[in-house]
Amino acid sequence: MSDVIDNRADHRFELEVEGRIAAEHYKLDGDVITFEHTDVPKELGGKGVGSTLVQGALDQVRAAGLKLIPQCPFVKAWIEKHTDYLDLVAR
């Protein structure tokens, strides 16, 4: 798998796998980023692509010093399983 990239123009983090793009759509407001929707092509389902995408995106959120609102149910569930990312969640 390639690296997760921040496509700021389209407001989404992207991960290219097997010629397909998985995306984490977001809205940025100041220093708070809201993850709105995770989109993984059906062909890539069950391969851990969504988890890789979310982890890569959250690592970039942390590096940028942002706080997160996990509006997307997939992201919310992922963070609950990976509690070392809980500190990113805006209170």
Per-residue pLDDT, averaged over 30-46, amounts to 96
Average pLDDT, the chain: 96
For the whole model, what pTM was predicted?
A: 0.95
Per-residue pLDDT, averaged over 61-90, amounts to 97
Q: Per-residue pLDDT tens for 41-68?
A: 999 999 999 999 999 999 999 999 999 9
- The closest of 46, 58, 89 to 71, measured between CA atoms, is 89
- The closest of 2, 47, 5 to 24, measured between CA atoms, is 5
Output the domain CATH number for residue 29.
3.40.630.30
pLDDT of residue 1 exceeding 90: no
Letter for the amino acid at 13? F
Domain count, the chain: 1
Task: Give the span between the Cα atoms of 27 and 15, in whole angstroms.
Answer: 18
pLDDT of residue 91 exceeding 90: no
Max Cα–Cα distance, the chain, nearest Å: 37
Per-residue pLDDT, averaged over 60-77, amounts to 97
The token pair at 6 is: 């921040």
Residue 72 structural domain: 5-88
